[in-house]
């Protein structure tokens, strides 16, 4: 069984990686590709953000109902991304073209709104992970 401190540490690390993925998704197509190393960007970004609801399973998860709903709604938008947009590629130009697909526009907008909504939790996360500051 995982202790309370370990559970909290796992949550904080998982939240950090979720926010990194969410920030990547919220970025411009070119920046998103840059952050993901131009490798299979659409699939990898979608996959990483879709892990967000796993945060709800941690005891003591501080996310409000509104924040949880925002994450869930974003995941539902991601589930509707057509397979051809997330098809595997290791060709940088193909990743950029896929991230420029119009399906990403409302998703990117939602991701940006969600980042704003999560700012207080993200600030707490940064204080936990870097108590002395970055």
Q: By the 8 A CB rule, do 27 and 109 touch?
A: no
Q: With 70 as the cut, is the pLDDT of residue 38 above it?
A: yes
Q: By the 8 A CB rule, do 106 and 73 touch?
A: no
Domain ranges of the chain: 4-129
Of the candidates 106, 90, 111, the one whose C-alpha atom is nearest the C-alpha of residue 41 is: 90
Our measurement of the distance from residue 72's CA atom to the centroid of its chain's CA atoms, rounded to an integer in Å, reads 12
What average pLDDT does the segment 63-86 reach? 98
User: What's the pTM value of the predicted model, to 2 decimals?
Assistant: 0.94
Of the candidates 74, 96, 84, the one whose C-alpha atom is nearest the C-alpha of residue 28 is: 96
Q: By the 8 A CB rule, do 92 and 41 touch?
A: no
What average pLDDT does the segment 34-51 reach? 97
């Amino acid at each position: 069984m995982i202790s309370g401190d370990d559970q909290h540490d796992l949550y904080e690390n998982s939240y950090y990686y979720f926010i990194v993925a969410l920030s990547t998704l919220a970025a411009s197509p070119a920046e998103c590709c840059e952050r993901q190393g131009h490798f299979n960007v659409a699939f990898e970004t979608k996959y990483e953000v879709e892990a967000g609801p796993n945060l709800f399973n941690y005891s003591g998860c501080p996310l409000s109902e509104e924040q949880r709903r925002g994450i869930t709604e974003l995941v539902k938008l991601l589930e509707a991304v057509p397979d051809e947009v997330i098809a595997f590629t290791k060709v940088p130009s193909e990743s950029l073209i896929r991230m420029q697909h119009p399906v990403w526009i409302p998703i990117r907008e939602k991701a940006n709104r969600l980042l704003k909504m999560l700012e207080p939790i993200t600030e707490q996360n940064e204080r936990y992970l870097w108590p002395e500051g970055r």
